[in-house]
Amino acid sequence: MTHKEFALKISKVPFTPEVYKQHGWSEKFIEDTFKRHTFLPKEPSNTIPECVDPILNLVRSFDVSNVEIGMVRFNDKIVNGQDYIIFGRAETDDLVISKITNEILLLESGINHVLYYCASNSTTFLNALLQIAPIFQQRGIDVNLFENDAAQIKFASAFGETAGGEKYKDFYRMLLGV
């Protein structure tokens, strides 16, 4: 999947402001929720030529400053470290691409300690985010889904499989709070 395909698909995640209003959410919350799935192209002078990695292309080509999928946020720019490329955050910790394995990892902020293995590569990570985004949208309006731990565990398992298998499931369990 390319970065452009991801941006297009994530922008099509079902979002119905009227349903949020019916559940008592504020106008500001609804507006912010909509922005979390909006990718605006960067000005041409601010872009860097495309590379092979779809996450790097995503951050380089789009304004991702408002994008948030669960706790996953993308940085405004790429930070190129010795062993890792930092592209985002989950809560306060760093989402990185390992230069050695190409895996997506969550590192404890400020240190190179792996908290979670997130995906086997950038493409599988973006695919898992595409699957989890509608669940987060639905959980915002369906308290029964939000409180259904069995369903959340099943979702996390499926997202982990999409991300590359058993090794990655704990990250999605953490995102879903189970």
Q: Residue 13: which residues within 8 A CB-CB, separation 6 or more?
A: 37, 133, 134, 137
Taking each helix axis from N to C end, the angle separating 149-163 and 169-176, rounded to the nearest 10 degrees, works out to: 140
* pLDDT at site 144: 81
- Best CA proximity match to 42, nearest among 77, 5, 89, 1: 77
The domain locations on the chain are 3-176
DSSP state of 166: G
Q: Locate 175 and state its tokens.
A: 């995102």
pLDDT tens for 148-169 read 899 999 999 999 999 999 999 9
Taking each helix axis from N to C end, the angle separating 122-139 and 3-11, rounded to the nearest 10 degrees, works out to: 10
pLDDT tens for 62-115 read 999 888 899 999 999 999 999 999 999 999 999 999 999 999 999 998 888 999
Higher-confidence residue of 107 and 141: namely 107
Measure the CA–CA gap between 105 and 90, rounded to whole angstroms. 10
- Residue 130, pLDDT above cutoff 60: yes
Measure the CA–CA gap between 53 and 51, rounded to whole angstroms. 6
* pLDDT at site 49: 62
Instruction: Read off the pLDDT of each residue in 116-124 and give the average, rounded to a whole number.
Output: 98
Burial 74-105 (b: 16+ CB within 10 A, else e): beeebeeeeebbbbbbbeebbbbbbeeeebbb
Q: Residue type at 16?
A: T
* pLDDT at site 42: 83
